[in-house]
Structure 1
Amino acid sequence: MKFKAGSLKLMKEMNKNLILRTLIENGKLSRAEITAKVNLSASTVSSLVSELIEDEIIEENSIGESSGGRKPIYLTIKGNSSYIFIISLNSNDITLRVHDMNLNEVYHSSLSKKIIYGNGLFAIISGGMEKAMNKLNIQREKAAGIGILIDESLYAANFNMLFSTYVFQENFSIQEALEYTFKIPVISEYSGRVDIEKQVEKLLREIPENYTYISFDEKITTSIYTNGKAFERNGERVIDIGKLLISPNVDIEKLLSPSNFYRKIYHCLGIEKTYDTEEKNTSFILENWEKVWKGEIESSHKVKEHIYEAADCITLIMKNLLLFFKIDVFILGGTLMNVPGFDNIVKNQFGKVFSDTKEIIIKSIPKVEKDNTLALVEKVRDRYFNDFSNRVLD
């Protein structure tokens, strides 16, 4: 059977991408190990690896121990082949980090000690990136992509900039402005949702078509996916539903805010919450949680009242969302999901309200206090390698 030249080129680039993916997943591998994992011939792998080394995408990194024959030479992604720029937008600062293709941070700078919007923000970011590239001696073509990490207390639409001439005026998102200026892909994500799809897939073994992720922090926010697509409201994919909930009897958003919720628990357990001892007090709660549910602590009944009140409010939120959206799976996250067994209480309360409806899956993801920068770096890197393959094929 004869293959057309275009088909052979496509197959070759697909195999190159397969080798890159395998190296990314495993960190470092020898040619023989790559051959075993990608199910290609040794000669094909050797030829493609040589091309990737020549293109300065991967490199020979180290020599391993011999098991009787020739010592294996390990290959890795070449760290300085390209660089990824991450801008973090928080309510009290703007920072820039630069990472190489092995996810190592090579540069860190504070661009502002306060949040800035619009054209001013664009000027600060673009100026900060130019300064970083000059300091690291990075040429423009070595910029792989930009990631914008937005704190969930902020709204992406607020960062839009105005481009104007004598003829017209038009609004651009900060993402569009940076893509146009630097000619590289830009990915913007909310900090708590950078790798939410990976977490959902890990939790359920697949990503459902109709699900919503609700985060219970100082704001109640949700991301809704219907028929596999993210629902947007006023251009935002993360919706502050706390402001949309109307309850004549209780301020749901205030009740479910972690600071207010834990303050009640602290009071019931007879401990005083201060910023210096907050971590210690939280540990105390977790350590004594079993005693609370066994009724061994004097004010256990009061603690349980607060827990069930919060669970009922969450059930009401889920009920309201079901009125407007087709949802098969609820993923609950944020600080409140750190309370041991709280997710099971929510499931039970929800089951009482919706006992006559089809089963709806409810899962929880505890809040992980970590910097999501690396998760976004990985996402930008994946986008870069996908675009790299597409550029070669074009």
Structure 2
Amino acid sequence: MGKNLLTGSFQLMKSLNRSVILNLIRERGPISRAEIAKVTKLTPPTVSNLVKELLQTEIIMEQSLGESSGGRKPTMLTLNSSMFHVVGLDLGSHHLKATLTNINGKMIKKESVPIPVGVTKEDLLKLMADCVNLIKNEAGINEENIIGIGVAMHGIVDVEKGLSVFAPNLNLQEIPIKEYLEEQFNMIVKIENDARAMSLGEQWFGNGAGVDSLVSINVGRGVGAGIIINGKLFHGQNFISGEIGHMVIDINGPKCTCGNYGCLQTFTSGPSIAENAAKELRLGQQSSLATLSEGDLSKITGEMIYDAAVAGDALSQNILAQAGRYLGIGVTNLIHIVNPKRIIIGGGVSNAGDFLLDNLKDTIKQRALTSSAKETEIVISKFGEDASVMGAVALILTELFSTRGN
């Protein structure tokens, strides 16, 4: 199948009835034409015609015969998941992650490459293209069998233009990601803020499945949230919805990278946790971190603190507990504003597990307004540090399958 037909198939799917059928096959396949007609209330001839068109794009395929209740056995329809693939990219502060999945979201290949210090816009775009080629070639996948590239990007993103408006951790602005990658690869490219992408990924095939109101919080070098209301991703008027890392928790707190003081991420992000540990050691606190860092406090990382906490280091346990309490305050504020059914915690800091989560939950129980709000579901991301890159994949699957208009 050539690129033109594959690209054209996206336009084909824009028909509501085709999208409904395709999504039904994704969710319930293998499924017969008769069952599709029954579920969708479309007439059998209409279903047959639409299925015929979908078969021509090769996005679906006929499978071995199903069970019959009498008479001729029905032909079953299923996604052609082994043929078509999606590339997801996650642009963090220091690394660019890439993954290749099938159209069911199953990860086939994953790579992570460092982003050079002081990278330019041009260099970053080329690095992204190189990463796509790397993962494609490693997996032995033909480019014409990749249906699109999803990009999760930290900072402010204009999803309509496919533009990284401001990537604060790279100190870059106005990066034309969609335009560049579409020109390089002649396929659909979708770009989204990393936390919002994470939320979409959790909704599609993670711990947010079947939940219409949820918030996913990405806690890494920064803190961001993706908010889904009534099954739809909420962007806000200027694409800054979910920037909870810049919710002020303490007006007399430390200075944040944004220029304000006491932002949530100055207490809960990976770098701030590491800096807090280094500060306590300088003040004379005893900890195995002094040995683990070989006396160089700048080497202390969130992972190191977690390892020390597991080994019983009291300072490390206290630092993670404090970060959990501050995050709990931020999450409580979020519950009072959005009141979601479920909150999902992902990103590197989420690896701290119960050291952080128990204190987060305790804080919510102390501070939330009502008994039901106190019991808001809090879970760890299904994908951990891969939550945003899987969200990037979901951007393309949403474009292909969704009838919800996310």
TM range (shorter): 0.5 to 0.7
Letter in structure 1 aligned against 2:397: R
Letter in structure 2 aligned against 1:188: E
Superimposed CA distance per residue, residues 124-168 of structure 1 (whole angstroms, 9 cap, x where no aligned partner) = 2224445666763333xx54221113468x974666978xxxxxx
- C-alpha contact (below 8 Å) 1:338/1:366 kept by paired residues: no
Aligned counterpart, 2:36: 34
Aligned counterpart, 1:166: none
Is 1:366 matched with 2:382?
no
Is 1:23 matched with 2:39?
no
Supply the distance in 2 between the matched residues of 1:93 and 1:103 (Cα, whole angstroms): 22
Which has the bigger relative contact order, CA under 8 A and spacing at least 6?
2
Distance 1:67 1:206, change over 3 A: closer
% same residue = 21
- Where do 1:53-132 residues align within 5 Å? 53-64=55-66, 69-79=71-81, 82-105=84-107, 112-115=113-116, 116-129=119-132
Aligned counterpart, 1:350: 367
Is 1:190 matched with 2:221?
no
- Cα deviation for residue 75 of structure 1 reads 1.4
- Cα deviation for residue 253 of structure 1 reads 5.4
3-state DSSP of counterpart to 1:349: helix
- C-alpha contact (below 8 Å) 2:224/2:245 kept by paired residues: yes
Distance 1:196 1:48, change over 3 A: closer
Aligned counterpart, 1:333: 345
Distance 1:282 1:206, change over 3 A: same
- Cα deviation for residue 122 of structure 1 reads 0.9
Aligned counterpart, 1:289: none
Is 1:177 matched with 2:180?
yes
Supply the distance in 2 between the matched residues of 1:13 and 1:150 (Cα, whole angstroms): 30
Aligned counterpart, 1:147: 150
Structure number with larger C-alpha Rg? 1
Distance 1:207 1:95, change over 3 A: closer
- C-alpha contact (below 8 Å) 2:90/2:392 kept by paired residues: no
- C-alpha contact (below 8 Å) 2:105/2:394 kept by paired residues: yes
3-state DSSP of counterpart to 1:240: helix
- Where do 1:237-256 residues align within 5 Å? 238-241=243-246, 245-247=250-252, 256=268
Aligned length: 336
Aligned counterpart, 1:207: 213
Distance 1:303 1:278, change over 3 A: closer
- C-alpha contact (below 8 Å) 2:267/2:323 kept by paired residues: yes
- C-alpha contact (below 8 Å) 1:148/1:186 kept by paired residues: yes
- Cα deviation for residue 24 of structure 1 reads 1.0
- Between 225-234 and 182-191, report the one with greater CA deviation: 225-234
Letter in structure 2 aligned against 1:195: G
Supply the distance in 1 between the matched residues of 2:353 and 2:60 (Cα, whole angstroms): 42
* Unmatched 5+ stretches in structure 1: 1-9, 163-170, 264-269, 286-298, 390-394
- C-alpha contact (below 8 Å) 2:244/2:330 kept by paired residues: no
- Cα deviation for residue 381 of structure 1 reads 1.8
Q: Give me the TM-score of the superposition, normalised by structure 2.
A: 0.59
Query: What CA RMSD, in Å, does the superposition of the two structures yield over aligned residues?
Result: 5.5
Distance 1:82 1:189, change over 3 A: farther
3-state DSSP of counterpart to 1:247: coil
Supply the distance in 2 between the matched residues of 1:303 and 1:113 (Cα, whole angstroms): 28
Supply the distance in 2 between the matched residues of 1:73 and 1:47 (Cα, whole angstroms): 15
Supply the distance in 2 between the matched residues of 1:231 and 1:344 (Cα, whole angstroms): 28
- Cα deviation for residue 332 of structure 1 reads 7.2
